[in-house]
Structure 1
Amino acid sequence: MHVAMIVSTPMPPEEGIGYYTYNLSKELQERGHRITIVTRGGLKGMSATHDGLEIKKVPYIPAYPFHVDLHGIFLRRRLRQLGPDIVHTHTPLTPPVDIDIPVVSTIHTSVVEDANQTDSIRPGALAHRFLTRVTSRRTIAAQAESATELATVAHSVKEELATHFGLSGIHVVGNGVNISEFDGVSDTNERFGLFVGRLSYRKGIADLLNAWEQLPDEQRIPLKIVGKGPLREQLEDQLSGTGLSGDVSFLGHLPRADLVRLYQQATLFIVPSHYEGLPTVLLEAMAARTPVISTAVSGALDVIDDGENGILVPARAPEEMSEAVLRLLRDPEARKRLAARGRETVEREYTWDAVADRYLDLYETSMNA
């Protein structure tokens, strides 16, 4: 089967949806299917390969708010040239596909909730929120109309799509990790907390810093923050007014091997988000046998059974997050138990093998419709 994967994010991947598309593509390719990833390029577009995957970067003109429509013209032309058996789009901000073959669309986020979490104080945030809402409503509605089958990553996103767009019949396929990547142990005597993700408002990193500041001095361990994004300068400014400057380090974007090593070495992993779909980093930390603390939002509710395979705390509640961190720091047996059960959860439900099985079933249903 020849599958054309359509995505709007960079390839090779740098963020969540890109990694999702890449890992699913690798799993399907290893099963003998031909995969072509189609994404945005420059004005001319280009062809490339990454880890054996065929990548087509079609022309993209950032002429807001018409960028998605213009990109769609070039995208549909390229799809006719490729002649795939099925098209699999990964929304948001991918153009609708008007083509006479089956189309499966994974809607990773409603975008409406993403826009609602934008920091309205930051210059340009209100305009960004408005344009995002308008563009997402139009593109998601068009995607839903053109798709043979719809999927998403978490039950919370399914509910948002029903509420905001009136969509039904959506399959929840989840997210996945490569379990074998996190096998083995990377020993260290260092104790530290770990955050991995984009440095943006809805990730709740400011709450995490507040929580860390509330830890008793004698109990506080270093906090390592991995990722890049628009809030780095603001977060560093927040640190300058506290006593945390020696305890918190911003590591930027790391090579994959270095990131896996940090997952394995971390004392605990924190997801402080105000909103998520189903974050890959949460599953990766659990796969690495690192105990996790997450805000009780969105996809985390699908994965974490509070107190059994992780800890859930309310969003925007630094004091409760700090209390949860302190409890785990004081209880190594609890950390060990949560780590083991977290790994079991991922092995049982959130491998790319399991996710690929669900998609292949959807492809078959779509092609027989």
Structure 2
Amino acid sequence: MKILRVVYEWPPPWTGLAPALYGMTKAQTKLGHHITVFCARWPKAGALELLSNVDIKAFLRAPIKGTALVTTAPLMAIYFVFWRLFHKVDVLHLHGHFGLYIYIYKFLFGFIDKTPIVAHFHICSKARENEILHSGKRIYVLSKFIEWPLHKLSEVLALKLASYCICVSESVKNDFIKEYSADEKKLIVIESGVDTDIFKPCNPYEKLDLRRRVGIKEDAVVVSNIGAFVDRKNIHLIVESLKFLPSNFVVMLVGKGEKAYVDKLKEIVASEGLGLRVKFVGEKSNPELPIYYQLSDVFVLPSVYEGFPKVVLEALSCGISVAASGFKLPLDIKGLYEVKVHSADSLAELITKITEESVKIDINLIRSRFSWDAQARKVDFVYDKLRV
């Protein structure tokens, strides 16, 4: 099939959804598909990650966070209209909300352009907005008055115009049913995937060597978090949990975040005297990430709201137990624990429990169920339904 994939992120940088979109696209090419990717990126982000049978058209990213749908997305949509005059595709696969104006195009001209749409929901913005409002987290002005309203418009149009809507978790699917009374027959759950070729366990000797290389003591119990440091992910609770844990427990934070929130984290570290127990590693590319999972003992993500975070699968694929929240956890995966109470002392108790139980992760289950090759075959099943 000829597929047009519309996404906001493509590597580099290997942040946000970029690794997932790259992994899915790579797996789909193995099935014989030819894919054109419309994406947004910074000019100095580095050379595009290229794949065989994949054409990439990159547009300039939004200059200010939260404004993509009033800057980059309209420009991309104008290009799309002219591009469609000369290019035939079998399916429009639109991820997230970046395809808002393509939905509007289909709403206006769908009687001419019969190309089916598959929407791909990584979150439900309306549900995320409600969760953040309920939790009392900080709300940015641009998000409240520009980003969220346009996201919700995109979701309404997607539910109306798409032939099928892929949701990355049962909780995302349920959010759309709850918030929009969405047609359940249109919603298909296909979780995020993981590159099991690079995210894999290491042996104890390799683990010790990795710790020496990054300056972590051999006998330390490493509690890690990898990704974006933002308020809704409750990274501060991970840091504060050290007050209730033995002195050999350390926290390793890999990634970057909003300056105000990172400053808050550093203030907690300084005020609580945790400077020797918290390590800020900085942002790493996707190929560099496996070692930071492999040298860890527990991965923690106590979020208020998530879709189905790829970092959870990456940690499990490396054989590391996970404590997480903000989405419906698959209960049949050993080593995946739910964070039920968002407080530092409760989180410390859960971390202690996980380290004491030392559950062995079923790596074969992760590979068979969540590898990108497995997920690409599930998406192919959705494409097949379009032909019926």
TM-score (norm 2): 0.82
How many matched pairs? 352
Residue 361 of structure 2 aligns to which amino acid in structure 1? A
1:204 and 2:254 matched: no
Q: CA deviation at 1:355?
A: 0.9
Q: Work out the CA distance in 2 between the residues paired with 1:111 and 1:261.
A: 32
Aligned partners of 1:5 and 1:38 also within 8 Å: yes
Aligned residue among 357, 366, 369 for 2:386:
366
The Cα offsets for residues 114-138 of structure 1, whole Å up to 9 and x where unpaired, read as 334278675x624523433311111
- Judged with a 3 Å threshold, the aligned counterparts in structure 2 of structure 1 residues 42 and 232 are, in CA distance, closer, same or farther, namely closer
For 1:7, the equivalent position in structure 2 comes to 7
CA contact (8 A) 2:226 2:254 kept: yes
2:79 is equivalent to residue 74 of structure 1 = yes
Counterpart for residue 140 of structure 1: 155
Shift of 1:75: 3.0
Which of 295, 302, 309 does residue 279 from structure 1 map onto?
A: 309
Greater CA drift, 279-288 or 143-152: 143-152
Residue of structure 2 aligned with 1:213, choices 243, 249, 266 = 243
Hey, what's the Cα distance between the residues in 2 that align with 1:94 and 1:214? Answer: 46
The Cα of 1:101 is off from its aligned counterpart by: 1.0
Is residue 2:179 matched to residue 1:178?
no
Match of 2:168 in 1: 153
Match of 1:339 among 349, 360, 378: 360
Q: Root-mean-square deviation (CA), in Å? A: 2.6
Residues 326-353 of structure 1: CA deviation (Å, up to 9, x unaligned): 2333x2xx21xx2323x24412421212
Q: Is the 8 A contact 2:4 2:37 kept in 1?
A: yes
Contact 1:7/1:38 (CA < 8 Å) preserved in 2?
yes
| Superposed counterparts of 1:50-89, under 5 Å | 50-52=50-52, 53-58=54-59, 64=67, 66-67=70-71, 68-89=73-94
Summarize the alignment of residues 1-369 of structure 1 with structure 2, pairs less than 5 Å apart: 1-40=1-40, 50-52=50-52, 53-58=54-59, 64=67, 66-67=70-71, 68-95=73-100, 96-97=102-103, 98=106, 99-116=113-130, 117=132, 122=138, 125-168=140-183, 169=185, 170-183=187-200, 185=202, 186-188=206-208, 189=218, 191=220, 192-217=222-247, 220-230=248-258, 231-295=261-325, 297-299=326-328, 301=329, 303-305=330-332, 308-329=334-355, 331=356, 334-335=357-358, 338-341=359-362, 343-368=363-388
CA contact (8 A) 1:153 1:277 kept: yes
Secondary structure of 1:35 counterpart: strand
Percent identity reads 21
Query: Amino acid of the residue matched to residue 241 of structure 1?
Result: S
How much has 1:286 moved relative to structure 2? 0.5
Task: Give the Cα separation in 2 of the matches to 1:226 and 1:62.
Answer: 25
SS at match of 2:249: coil
Amino acid at match of 2:115: I
Separation in structure 1 between the aligned mates of residue 288 and residue 42 of structure 2, nearest angstrom: 30
**Structure 1 residues 11 and 76: alpha-carbon distance in aligned structure 2, compared to 1, 3 A threshold:** farther
Q: CA deviation at 1:225?
A: 0.5
Deviations 1:241-271, CA, capped at 9 Å, x for gaps = 1121211111121133431011112111111
Task: Flag the 1:315–1:214 CA change in 2: closer, same or farther, 3 A.
Answer: same
Which of 125-134 and 62-71 deviates more? 62-71
Opposite residue 377 of structure 2, the aligned amino acid is D
Contact 1:24 1:356 (C-alpha < 8 Å) held by counterparts = yes
Separation in 2, partners of 1:7, 1:327:
39
Q: CA deviation at 1:58?
A: 3.6
Cα pair 2:250 2:278 within 8 Å, conserved: yes
Distance 1:60 1:244 in 2: 37
Report the TM-score when normalising by structure 1: 0.86
Question: For 1:325, what is the secondary structure of its paired residue?
Answer: helix
Distance 1:121 1:328 in 2: 28
Distance 1:237 1:366 in 2: 53
